[in-house]
Structures are given as C-alpha cells and as structure tokens.
Amino acid sequence: MRAAEAGDDERAEQFHGYPGRAQARSMVITPMGIAATSQTLASQAGAQVLARGGSAVDAAIAANATLGVVEPMSNGMGGDLFAICWDAKTGTLTGLNGSGWAPAGLNISFLKSLGRSSMPREGIHSVTVPGCVSGWQKLHQRFGRLPWKDLFQPAIYFAGRGYPVTEIIQASWQVAVPKLAADANARRIFLDHGAAPQVGQVFHNSELAEALRLIASEGPGAFYRGPISKSILKTSDRLGGKMTAADLSEFEAEWVEPMHTEYRGWKVYELPPNGQGIAALEMLNIMETFPLGEHPHLGADDLHIKIEAKKLAYADLARFVADPRFSKVPMAGMVDKGYARQRARLIDLHKAACLVQPGQPGWGAGDTIYLSMVDREGNIVSLIQSLFQGFGSGVVVDDFGFHFQNRGGLFLLDETHPDALQPRKRPLHTIIPAFMEKGETHVGFGIMGGFNQAQAHAQFVSHVVDAGMNIQAALEAPRFTKLTFAGCDVMIEGRVPPEVRRDLEARGHKLTVMPDYAQPMGGGQAVLHDARTRVNYGASSPRKDGAAVPEPAPYFG
C-alpha cells in the first residue's frame, strides 16, 4: 500500500504547477504564416500558398475558392464577400465591400404583382448579383503577389478529383436535402440518389471545376461578362428572374473605410453599413458603461448585461441599417459613446426586457464561412463570404454547378423602411469581418451565423479584453445568441453552469439550452500578429470542421 501511495505522489508531482485549463485546443504559434478556415483542406490550401511566397490575400483567395468546393452550402462564387486587410509595413487598415446589388428590374411593385407580401427567401427573386469574384479581383490587384491563375488550383483539384465530406458539413448538407431536391441542377449535382453524401464519401463537382478553370484562365471577366455570365442569365431567364447583362457587367466591389470604437483601451474595427458590424460596435459601447471586470466572467450579471446590450443594439440595427447609397444611416450617432450611455440606462440589472424599442441616435458629421490569414510579414486578412442561408437561393446555375445566394431575402417590401427593395440597391447584410488592436498586437477575427455575428463579435472582444483569454480560448468560450429581435428568448450553450442559467431565468430570460458547442453560436477563426516579437498566433473554433494551419517552414531547402 505504501508503495502505491508513493507512486501516486510521484505521478502527482509530474503535474505540479499545471492545473489544467478550460479550453480544448492550443493556439497555433509560429513565426511563419497561418491559414485559419472552417475546413481543413481549405486551411491547408491557404498554408501552401503562403509557403509558395503568397501574401495573406493570396492565401485567403485560394482558401475561399477551396471552401466554395468543400463547404458548398455556406459559400461560393455565387455569393458575396467582405474583407478587412491590415498592411503591416504601412500600418494601414483597408475594408472591402463585395456585396452585390438587386437587379435593375426587381422592385416592390413587381413582387407585389406576383402576390408577394414579403421578400422571398428562396428562388430566383431572392437572388442579387454575386459580388465574390469581383471582391477577389480587387483584393488581388492591391495585395496579391502570386499569379491569379495559381490561386485556384487547390479548388480546381478538389472539385475535379473529389474530396471526402466532413462531419459538420455533412450534417448541414443533410438538413438541406428538401431544398436541393426542389432544383433540378441541385438534385443532379448535390444529391446521390436523393440523399446527401455521407461522412467520408468522396464528392465531385466537375461543373464547378470548369467554372473555376474559366475564372483562373480568363479572370473575373469570365464571371461578369463571359461564359459564366451567359449561364447566369440563361438560368435567371428560365426561372423568370430579372437579372440582365448590365446588372452583372456594371457591378464592382468597392473599397470602404472601416469604422471603429475603443473598448477599454482596444480599438475594435468593423465595416460600415450595409453590414451589421455597426451593431457590434454599439453593443460594445453599451457594455463598456458597466464594470464587467468586477463581475464573474460568464456569470449571471455578466451575461445579463451583454444580452440586454444586444437587444438595444439590434433594435437600432433593424430600424436604421441599410445601403447608405440609398438611405441615410446614422452611423456616427450609433457608435457615439454618449448615445451608448443613454441606451445603457435602459438596462435593469434585475430584469430582462422583452420589448426593446430603437433609440434616436444623432446623425453626426445561417450560412457563412469566415477565414483569417496572416503571412510571415504580419499582414492580416479578415474575410467573410457567404450564400446567406444553406445553399442560398436553392438555385444552381446551369452548366457551372454553383448556387446563387439569397441575399435579396433581407430586403423589405415596406417602401418607408431604409432597407426597402430598390433596383441596384444592396440589402442589409449579416456577414461581417472584424479586427482589433492594442499597441503592437493586431487581431483579425470573425464568427459566422447570420444575425449571431455582431453579438458574437462583442462577446469575443469581451473574452479577450475583460477576461484576458487568448484567442483560442475566446473562440471556444461558451456563448449566448438571440437570433430574434423581440422577446426574452435566448439560446445559451450547456457549458454555462446550471446555477448561472437559473439566475438568468429568474430575471426573466427564457433560455433554450443548446449543446456544448452549438452551431447557432457560430464557428469562427482568429489570427494574431505580435509586431514586437514577429510571432503569429492562430485559432479555430471547434464548432466547425476547420483548423488553423501553419505555413510549413522551409526545412527541406
């Protein structure tokens, strides 16, 4: 007995000083670049592009194109794209809005003549011009190093030769079977005898491979003016859509200036409307008025304040955010610190508010992929790309094997609302990339999931700033999400302790307890560059099939 006890003491001594941790994964840490995406084959593609001397943008384009193949329900060339780029040499931050506009012939009166009282979420009339390929072009022209055609080789490879379907992606595919079965092209390409491919089953898409080859060899013109555009128009015409050649050829992604707020000494950046990033900034400003550091992190007080701040910020999001080229959006007022203090005074620390109204800010002067890249020089790309809901509109383009997005579904048919449908107008967008920095620390991050995104961004920032978590722990930490705008309903992950959940329910929150790593909370990625040490850090959420993959060092010469 004494010998056994001595052995136990010896084993215990081996772990002395290491109490364990709450997070499951470690960060990826390297002086080389890092590619973090929601699917490992795409992360590997990005890492290999970095190893070939590519920039962070080159790696992002290659990984994004690959994700369109291996995670087809979430993204692809038929969708939109937003990005924030950090240039380490000049210290400048640049934003790109690659969201497409409604066809010139699509308007409220036309849809009402079809008997519609609200925007369709599926079918050809939910389709807006895809902005992704134009976004790739703009990014590559400014920040690319490798030849354009090289960036699409991984995606072409996997589309043509096939890839084994991964677990979470298969589950999303399975849910979408009825949508896929309703479209002849989708049924033929994406279903196997009426069923979704199984985990590990090798899936090919030769039509998508051909579309990628055309874009690689002919450039973006193949999509907006060439053979792919002709198939886009043929598909639209066949289904009674309003897309025209001019709608495609006249569209261009645009460079925009990121907005920011300061949260307890950190600068946090989002892109301006038509995206929802402004709601994350307003939410952080409201949260900053409370001494969250004095409350247990992820305790009942901490979560209650954040949930209530979300409701206030999202009430303003729903009321004011739209395409600023068509509607005046009170951007400066919504991120004003004084306005945040006004909104914060509406929070009752002991009671949940089930009906929150938008404020009066001053006017002042589903489904998605997110990826982040950092190269060895410290340049960062924070990029998000999406079809909106799973497999977008449900419409697959004739001959080329990719889905149209259904972003038009976020327009309103209320002519008095800022987000009312108009020709050549961009809808309110849910997809948002983000960036934060303090001193010589620079972080590109993003979290997916429709209207989950802005509230998830604010929670990630709080995990880093208020709780001192590293970026992997901050991505993994349990979160809440409220995907509705009214009511006291909140989804919360089961890792939040029961006593905390009981306290929240006593304050009036109607909780739905989700699995420990629940899909509605959104997977995410993050990269961090320490400019002082020139070391990079990468993180990837376990809520997706992905990973942060380091650029291989040149150890073979």
Note the pLDDT of residue 365: 41
pLDDT tens digits, one per residue of 186-232 = 999 999 999 999 999 999 999 999 999 999 999 999 999 999 999 99
Confidence of residue 21 (pLDDT cuts 50, 70, 90): confident
Q: Are strands 510-514 and 489-493 parallel, antiparallel or unpaired?
A: parallel
pTM (predicted TM-score)? 0.95
Q: What DSSP assignment string belongs to 120-167?
A: -SSSGGG-----HHHHHHHHHHHH--S-GGGGGHHHHHHHHH-EEPPH
Note the pLDDT of residue 20: 73
**Which residue range forms the structural domain that includes residue 95?**
33-255+368-410
Residue 224 lies in a domain: yes
Residue 437 lies in a domain: no
Note the pLDDT of residue 416: 96
CA distance 375 to 390: 31
Residue 61 lies in a domain: yes
**Which residues are annotated as catalytic?**
368
| Other CB atoms within 10 A of residue 557 CB | 3
Note the pLDDT of residue 16: 53
Cα–Cα distances in Å, from 241 out to 98, 232, 384, 468? 22, 10, 27, 51
Residue 512 lies in a domain: no
pLDDT averaged over every residue in the chain: 95
Q: Which helix (H) or strand (E) holds 404?
A: none
Question: In terms of C-beta density within 10 A (0-12 exposed, 13-18 middle, 19 or more buried), how is residue 240 classed?
Answer: exposed
Query: Is the pLDDT confidence value at 12 over 60?
Result: no
φ/ψ (deg, to 5) at 70: -90, -15
Residue 416 lies in a domain: no
Confidence of residue 18 (pLDDT cuts 50, 70, 90): low
Query: Is the pLDDT confidence value at 11 over 80?
Result: no
Determine the average pLDDT of the residues in 499-503.
98
Share of the chain above pLDDT 70, in %: 96
Residue 553 lies in a domain: no
Residues near 416 by Cβ (< 8 Å), separated by ≥ 6? none
Determine the average pLDDT of the residues in 382-396.
96
Share of the chain above pLDDT 90, in %: 93
Number of domains making up the chain: 1
Question: In terms of C-beta density within 10 A (0-12 exposed, 13-18 middle, 19 or more buried), how is residue 483 classed?
Answer: middle
407 in Cβ contact with 429 (< 8 Å): yes
Residue 205 lies in a domain: yes
Note the pLDDT of residue 307: 98
| Other CB atoms within 10 A of residue 404 CB | 30
